Each structure stands twice: as C-alpha cells, then as structure tokens.
Amino acid sequence: MRTPAARGKKREEEILDAAAAVFAERGYHGASTGDIAARLGIRQGSVYYYFRSKEQALERVCLAGVQGFVERIEAIAAADPPLSEGLREVVTGHVGAIVARRDSVIVFLRERRHVPRARRRRINTHARRYERALEIMLARAVTRGEARADVDCRMTALHLIGMCNAAAVWLGREPDAPLERIVATLLRLVLDGVAKPVKRKSP
C-alpha cells in the first residue's frame, strides 16, 4: 500500500505530465490551469495545491524537460570515453529522454521564453552546461587526433544538440524510426557525413 507521501508524489507527477501535455499542445498563452485540470478530470482548484500559478507550472515543466540531461552528459564527459563511444552514449541518452518525456522537452524548447527572466536564467543554465560538456568532449577528441583539427567544436556541439532536439518534432510521424535507427543515423551524419569521398586523379 502506498503511503500518503507516495500518493501525493504520484499525483504531483500526473499533474505535471498533464501540464506538459497542455502546454505542448496549446502553447503557454493558449493554455490555462482549467485545461490542465480538465485533462485529469479534477477541479481547477486542485491544480493550485501543486502550482501557485500557471507561470510556476510552466517553470516546473521546463525544468522537467531538462532533468537528467546535464547530469548524464557531465558523467559521460568525466569518464572521457573515445569519441564514437561517447557520442553514442550522448545521442542515445538525449533522444531516449525525448522519447520518454516528449511533451516536457517540447515545452522547454518552445515555451521557456515565457518564464520570468530571473527564473529563466536558472533553466538556461542547464542548457549552457550541456553545451559546454559536449564541446569539451569534442575538443578532447581533436587533441587526441580522433577528430579533424579544423573541427569547430562549439558549432558542432550546437548542431548536434539541434539535430537531437528536432526528433521531438517528428517522433511518431515516422512509423519505422525506432531509437536505434535514429541514433545510428545521427552518428553517421556526425562521424562520417553524407558525401562520398572524392577520388583524386593520379598525376
């Protein structure tokens, strides 16, 4: 039997998931706490037991959208694996988290600008830490000779994050796109590119 604390935690997670779904579907300005309550079939006042306002609900959803991302990539960077292995772990974890909590990630990407500036700074700190950890991994790969010397680590990190995040938009519309295929395709793009090597004519 669940304890009252466990039941309360479970209910809070359900309301947070409902808020994420509503914000992802309608956007922050198009949604209301009444919409969140209606999604769960509860009274609107019950929502305020967990969130003081729609604004706070948005902040909590945005934080849920990045939960675990930073800790995971910083642990990978600290382990300092070879480039191909490290990127596989990063991409698998990133896209896997999107599959697990797509609504929260979509809200983080699209709606966090509506969180008040002071609290938005806290949310954006997570994004910057993630970018920095990936940039460090790429820079180490250049130093070790695993990546080309002319690689722009900052731009490559941002592009890779953008490609991973894009999966949140089209997941579900591609019937034959399991996680393994998505990860494999992204890694091929980053590590091998798409163009065939140009054969040079012998002099």
Per the domain annotation, does 109 fall within a domain?
Answer: yes
Helix (H, G, I), strand (E, B) or coil at 190: helix
Domain of 136, in residue numbers: 64-191
- Tell me the pLDDT of the chain averaged across its residues: 90
What is the percent of the chain with per-residue pLDDT over 70, rounded to a whole number? Answer: 94
- The predicted pLDDT at position 197 comes to 66
Per the domain annotation, does 40 fall within a domain?
Answer: yes
Q: Which residue has the higher pLDDT, 68 or 18?
A: 18
Task: Write the pLDDT tens digit of every residue in 89-141.
Answer: 999 999 998 888 899 999 999 999 999 988 899 899 999 999 999 999 999 99
Note whether 32 and 91 are same-domain residues: no
Overall domain count for the chain: 2
Return the ∠ at Cα 22 (arms to 98 and 3), rounded to 5°. Answer: 80
| Whether the predicted pLDDT of 3 surpasses 90 | no
Note whether 51 and 135 are same-domain residues: no
8 A C-beta contact, residue 105 and residue 17: no
Note whether 125 and 169 are same-domain residues: yes
| Whether the predicted pLDDT of 24 surpasses 80 | yes
- The predicted pLDDT at position 118 comes to 87
8 A C-beta contact, residue 86 and residue 78: no
8 A C-beta contact, residue 115 and residue 62: yes
* CATH code, domain with 47: 1.10.10.60
8 A C-beta contact, residue 45 and residue 88: no
C-alpha 179/C-alpha 92 separation (Å) is 8
Task: Kindly give the interhelix angle for 54-66 and 117-144, rounded to the nearest 10 degrees.
Answer: 10
Task: Write the pLDDT tens digit of every residue in 158-195.
Answer: 999 999 999 888 887 877 888 888 899 999 998 888 77
Domain ends where: 40, 60, 80? Answer: 60
Block residue for tokens 């790969």: 141
| The model's pTM | 0.84
* CATH code, domain with 163: 1.10.357.10
Average pLDDT value for residue range 1-30 = 86
Note whether 169 and 69 are same-domain residues: yes
Tell me how far the alpha carbon of residue 188 is from its chain's centroid.
20
C-alpha 199/C-alpha 203 separation (Å) is 12
Per the domain annotation, does 160 fall within a domain?
Answer: yes
DSSP alpha helix (H) spans, 116-174: 117-144, 153-170
Note whether 98 and 132 are same-domain residues: yes
Per the domain annotation, does 199 fall within a domain?
Answer: no
